């Protein structure tokens, strides 16, 4: 039975505390959620991601009011109704398009910061795994959203990606037809991806965000030196007023104020793109209506998928599919392939330092090559970069096993 105390706290707070323990939740998740002092602005990327996702939800709801999930109406509802007839419809579309692209830039920064500082190491594996699940789900959300304008690139990207499920020589065309709901992308295909984009995948993302933040609570946030210390002891110093001696700060309001500052800088950059350079997030080919009888000269995905697309292209059909499948899951294995006991920045980790920078540069090269036609020297560079990608993952357990303990 609930305990009622008539003498303490304002009525509304007391009423909620007696039923939901709001003060306890606030203390555990906010005012006494301790963050290391020794971190930099890159640790704000998680909150930047959450804020961008919130903006995508709001702009998506605005667009949803006028979008028509029908192959005969979808293209005009986006490019004519929303862009020309609805007041500020163009602005919501620009926000949604730029947000969908920039969110992956922030995801990749967040991801490589985690790799650089070893934030996936022993005790923090679930933080990394939940983050990678978020990456995969955001990728599915982005792909399903790319189908909705029903332009040329939407149609043909949908055709190419769903064909991957045929399994190459397995020729599982029944599975492809089941996914599409038809022999080719059509009404059933569009409405299925509409449902995924506006309902199912956003719910999964929200659940995974909660899980991701939850996994941070026990092992605590890593710091830029990889230093291990007693959080409880440091927290007691802070609460005793010994702020300088303590190695931690509370999430709210101290760390959150720093997050808000970084988000302020980020949103200046974000809205600059929205108003002046939104075209980078919108493929010109997709301003032509979908036509199943007219194949674009060069089919390619959005920039954030180009690195994995380039891993698929240089190989034969079956080998390419295997390479592509491995590339989608290999980052999940990072905590288990890194055999070093050291939790430290890559700059202090011997050969791993070179592994990190080569991997980063290789993925950038793969991204550039994925946008170019697979011809001549570009095809050769793409093949070398793809082979290097896998060679780096094969080498990782070896070089980290040899790493000296710091």
Whether 397 shows a pLDDT value over 80: the answer reads yes
Residues 299-325, mean pLDDT to the nearest whole number? 91
Residue 402 CA to residue 349 CA, distance in Å, equals 11
Residues 323-327, mean pLDDT to the nearest whole number? 92
| pLDDT tens-place string over residues 55-71 | 999 999 999 999 999 99
Residue, of 182 and 24, whose pLDDT is higher: 182
Domain boundaries, the chain: 33-299, 306-405
Percent of the chain with pLDDT over 90: 67
Percent of the chain with pLDDT over 70: 98
Measured in degrees and rounded to the nearest 5, phi and psi for residue 35 equal: -120, 135
N residues, the chain: 406
| pLDDT tens-place string over residues 191-211 | 999 999 999 999 999 999 999
Question: Residue 227: how many CA atoms within 13 Å on its side-chain side?
Answer: 14
Who contacts 175 (Cβ-Cβ below 8 Å, separation ≥6)? Answer: 165, 166, 167
Residues 366-381, mean pLDDT to the nearest whole number? 91
Q: What is the mean pLDDT of the chain?
A: 91
Q: What is the pLDDT of residue 8?
A: 56
Question: Residue 4: how many CA atoms within 13 Å on its side-chain side?
Answer: 5
The 3 state secondary structure assigned to 200-233 is HHHHHHHHHHHHHHHHHHCCCCCCCCCCCCCHHH
From residue 345, give the alpha-carbon distance in Å to each of 224, 299, 337, 368, 384.
7, 39, 17, 28, 28
Q: Which CATH class is domain 33-299?
A: mainly alpha
Binned at pLDDT 50, 70 and 90, residue 300 comes out as confident
Q: What is the pLDDT of residue 324?
A: 92
Q: What is the pLDDT of residue 9?
A: 66
Closest listed residue to residue 158, CA positions, set 171, 149, 169: 149
Whether 227 shows a pLDDT value over 90: the answer reads no
Residue 37 CA to residue 40 CA, distance in Å, equals 9
Q: What's this model's pTM, rounded to 2 decimal places?
A: 0.92
Q: What is the pLDDT of residue 15?
A: 82
Which structure tokens are listed for 385? Answer: 């970069």
- Pair 154, 148: CB distance under 8 Å: yes
Question: Residue 67: how many CA atoms within 13 Å on its side-chain side?
Answer: 22
Region of poorest pLDDT, from 77-81, 119-123, 266-270: 119-123
Closest listed residue to residue 382, CA positions, set 392, 395, 368: 368
Q: What is the pLDDT of residue 297?
A: 84
Residue 82 CA to residue 214 CA, distance in Å, equals 38
Which structure tokens are listed for 362? Answer: 């290789």
Binned at pLDDT 50, 70 and 90, residue 2 comes out as low
User: Hey, is 85 helix, strand or coil?
Assistant: helix
Q: What is the pLDDT of residue 278?
A: 92
| pLDDT tens-place string over residues 39-58 | 999 999 999 999 999 999 99
Residues 214-228, mean pLDDT to the nearest whole number? 86
Q: What is the pLDDT of residue 3?
A: 59
Whether 163 shows a pLDDT value over 60: the answer reads yes
Which structure tokens are listed for 333? Answer: 């294995």
Residue, of 173 and 8, whose pLDDT is higher: 173
Whether 405 shows a pLDDT value over 90: the answer reads no
| pLDDT tens-place string over residues 258-299 | 999 999 999 999 999 999 999 988 888 999 999 999 988 888
Residues 159-178, mean pLDDT to the nearest whole number? 89
């Amino acid at each position: 039975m609930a305990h009622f105390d008539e003498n303490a706290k304002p009525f509304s707070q007391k009423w909620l505390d007696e039923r939901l323990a709001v003060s306890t939740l606030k203390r555990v998740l906010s005012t006494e959620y301790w963050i290391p002092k020794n971190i930099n602005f890159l640790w704000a990327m998680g909150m930047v991601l959450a804020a961008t996702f919130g903006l995508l939800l709001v702009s998506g709801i605005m667009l949803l009011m006028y979008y028509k999930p029908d192959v005969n109406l979808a293209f005009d509802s986006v490019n004519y109704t929303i862009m020309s007839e609805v007041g500020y419809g163009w602005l919501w579309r620009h926000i949604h398009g730029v947000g969908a692209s920039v969110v992956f830039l922030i995801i990749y920064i967040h991801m490589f910061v985690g790799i650089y500082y070893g934030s996936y190491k022993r005790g923090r594996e679930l933080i990394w795994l939940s983050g990678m699940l978020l990456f995969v789900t955001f990728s599915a959300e982005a792909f399903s959203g790319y189908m909705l304008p029903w332009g040329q690139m939407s149609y043909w990207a949908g055709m190419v990606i769903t064909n991957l499920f045929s399994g190459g020589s397995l020729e599982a065309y029944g599975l492809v037809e089941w996914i599409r709901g038809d022999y080719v992308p059509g009404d059933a295909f569009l409405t299925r991806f509409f449902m995924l984009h506006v309902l199912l995948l956003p719910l999964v993302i929200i659940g995974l965000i909660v899980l991701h933040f939850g996994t941070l609570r026990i092992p605590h946030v890593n710091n830029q030196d990889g230093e291990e210390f007693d959080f409880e002891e440091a927290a007691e110093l802070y609460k005793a007023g010994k702020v300088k001696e303590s190695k931690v700060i509370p999430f709210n309001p101290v760390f959150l104020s720093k997050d808000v500052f970084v988000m302020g800088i980020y949103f200046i950059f974000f809205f600059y793109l929205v108003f002046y350079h939104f075209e980078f997030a919108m493929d010109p080919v997709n301003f032509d209506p979908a036509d199943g009888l007219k194949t674009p000269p060069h089919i390619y995905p959005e920039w954030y998928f180009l690195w994995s697309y380039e891993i698929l292209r240089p190989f034969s059909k079956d080998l390419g599919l295997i390479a592509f499948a491995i590339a989608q899951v290999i980052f999940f294995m990072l905590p288990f392939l890194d055999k070093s006991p050291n939790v430290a920045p890559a700059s202090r980790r011997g050969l791993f330092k070179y592994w990190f920078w080569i991997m980063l540069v290789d993925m950038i090269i793969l991204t550039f090559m994925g946008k170019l036609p697979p011809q001549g020297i570009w095809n050769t560079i793409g093949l070398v970069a793809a082979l290097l990608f896998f060679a780096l993952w094969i080498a990782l357990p070896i070089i980290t096993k040899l790493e000296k303990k710091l």
